[in-house]
Amino acid sequence: MSGTTPAFLAACRREKPAHRPVWIMRQAGRYLPEYRALRAKVDFAALTHTADLAAEVTLQPIRRYPLDAAILFSDIMTPLQGMGIDLKFEPGPVVASPIRTRAQIEALPALVPERDVPFVLETIRQVRSGLPSGVPLIGFAGAPFTLLCYLVCGRPSKEFAAARGFLYAQPEDAERLLTVLADAMVEYLAAQAAAGAQALMLFESWAGLLAPPQFRRFALAAVRRAAAALRPTGVPLIYYVNQGSALMEEVAGLDVDVVGVDWRTPLSQVRRTLGPGKAVQGNLDPAALFGTPAELARQADAVLEAAGSAPGHIFNLGHGIWPDTDPDAVARLIDHVHERG
Ligand code: 1CP
């Protein structure tokens, strides 16, 4: 079957793909001149709330490069806007009234995707009809703890001190908020799969703030709840854990198909810890795209070497591509991975 299964989906399922699949976190975005041209005319909120435009942006990198997957163009905060949370992108999310009390948590409504974020589902339907059959579409959501970081602090931060403090000061409230967010993201992701998303990814961008006990009690418990509820969709589940070197033993027990990792840990070590039952995704340092062509090729080879030859590796960056990256370097990287992988 692997001859007909798209390489990305085969790798998610740890089958032998026809070639090493590659996609790039934040592949639709500010490093692309065609994205900047559109953004000069339309603000980010309008881009994410207008299906025609979000579908166009999702497809931009697919037209330019031989990528093995597309990812829905949206933001992790978009479904929270759909739940009535007042926020702006400046460019990172800024929440008008940060969530700190039990009353605020209990007042959060359930998410009904068809009612609250219909434009996301319409974007998915449009993208699917525009994508070649060998290029699956990834749907995504923020992992509950990462969403909590923005909701409690109210804005981007390096340390998210208020969010981390909340876990110690109001642990039961934190657990309740994480449960509410997990259930909302389950509704959101299940609706994305029903609309045509062929894999579902949870972004745990701020996992690295937590020591293993707090990661286990708060972040991982919420992801476990979400992953169990999403199993019936039948699509592969991907959990991206940023700065998760110290957390991989905890993640090993989670029932997901793919674990995405940042560049700080070699994939050989990650695969030893996770065992043969999980595929891995990553993990080139996005800064390697600023190296000479020869250096970029060497660094990509090092990732391929560390990933090894067992099935179940999806080549990607270890975190999102930077806006000042040269689009030609991305083209060279993708070609190199396809030739060598
Ligand atoms: O001005 C602009 O154009 C807005 C910049 C921007 C973009 C292009 C934001 C605001 N979000 C996005 C798109 C986006 N966000 C995508 C789709 C693009 C793609 O992958 O091809 C995705 C998957 C996200 C997810 C996202 N948003 C994450 C998780 C991934 C990660 O990078 O860790 C996070 C943490 C956010 C929050 C967010 N939204 C926007 C910004 C600038 C940020 C980061 C803020 C911070 O540093 O805390």
Reading the block at residue 298, the tokens are: 């060497």
Q: Where are the beta strands (DSSP E) in the chain?
A: 70-71, 87-89, 93-95, 137-142, 199-204, 237-241, 258-261, 279-284, 313-317
Domains of the chain: 7-340 (3.20.20.210)
Ligand 1 geometric centre to CA of 59 (Å)? 17
Within 10 A of 172 (CB to CB), how many other CB atoms are there?
A: 8
What is the percent of the chain where pLDDT is above 70? 99
Ligand 1 geometric centre to CA of 74 (Å)? 8
pLDDT score of 249: 97
Ligand 1 geometric centre to CA of 75 (Å)? 6
Please, what is the average pLDDT of the chain? Answer: 97
Nearest CA to ligand 1 atom 22: 75
pLDDT score of 2: 43
Q: Residue 142 CA: which ligand 1 atom is closest?
A: 29
Peptide bond into 91 cis (omega under 30): yes
Distance CA 132, CA 67 (A): 11
Cβ proximity of 202 and 158 under 8 Å: no
Q: Residue 27 CA: which ligand 1 atom is closest?
A: 21
Provide the angle, in degrees to the nearest 10, between the axes of the packed helices 118-130 and 51-64: 30
> Quick check: helix, strand or coil at residue 168?
helix
Distance CA 98, CA 75 (A): 18
pLDDT score of 138: 99
Distance CA 280, CA 313 (A): 5
Instruction: For 56-68, write each residue's pLDDT tens digit.
Output: 999 999 999 999 9
Ligand 1 pocket, Cβ-based, cut-off 6 angstroms: 25-30, 39, 44, 71, 73, 75-76, 89, 91-93, 140, 156, 203, 205, 242, 320
Nearest CA to ligand 1 atom 32: 320
Reading the block at residue 35, the tokens are: 């994205």
Within 10 A of 183 (CB to CB), how many other CB atoms are there?
A: 17
Mutate to test the pocket of ligand 1, among 26, 30, 39 (most ligand atoms within 8 A of CB): 26
Mutate to test the pocket of ligand 1, among 39, 60, 75 (most ligand atoms within 8 A of CB): 75
Catalytic residues: 26, 30, 39, 75, 150
Phi, psi of 147 (to 5 degrees): -65, -40
Nearest CA to ligand 1 atom 36: 76
Contacts of 141 (CB under 8 A, 6+ apart): 76, 79, 185, 188, 189, 200, 201, 202, 203
Nearest CA to ligand 1 atom 42: 92
Instruction: For 234-260, write each residue's pLDDT tens digit.
Output: 999 999 999 999 999 999 999 999 999
Ligand 1 geometric centre to CA of 3 (Å)? 34
pLDDT score of 47: 96
Instruction: For 179-222, write each residue's pLDDT tens digit.
Output: 999 999 999 999 999 999 999 999 999 999 999 999 999 999 99
Ligand 1 geometric centre to CA of 46 (Å)? 15
CA 277, chain centre distance (Å): 20
Phi, psi of 177 (to 5 degrees): -60, -40
Name the stretches of the chain with pLDDT < 50: 1-2
Residue 281: closest CA among 302, 301, 257: 257
In angstroms, the Cα distances linking 147 to 79, 195, 339 are 10, 23, 38
Q: Residue 157 CA: which ligand 1 atom is closest?
A: 48
Distance CA 49, CA 42 (A): 11
Q: Residue 57 CA: which ligand 1 atom is closest?
A: 21
Contacts of 308 (CB under 8 A, 6+ apart): 267, 268, 271
Ligand 1 geometric centre to CA of 281 (Å)? 19
Mutate to test the pocket of ligand 1, among 38, 76, 206, 283 (most ligand atoms within 8 A of CB): 76
pLDDT score of 1: 42
pLDDT score of 341: 83
What is the secondary structure of 232-294 as a DSSP string?
GG-S-EEEEETT-GGGHHHHTTS--SEEEE-TTS-HHHHHHHH-TT-EEEEEE-GGGGGS-HH
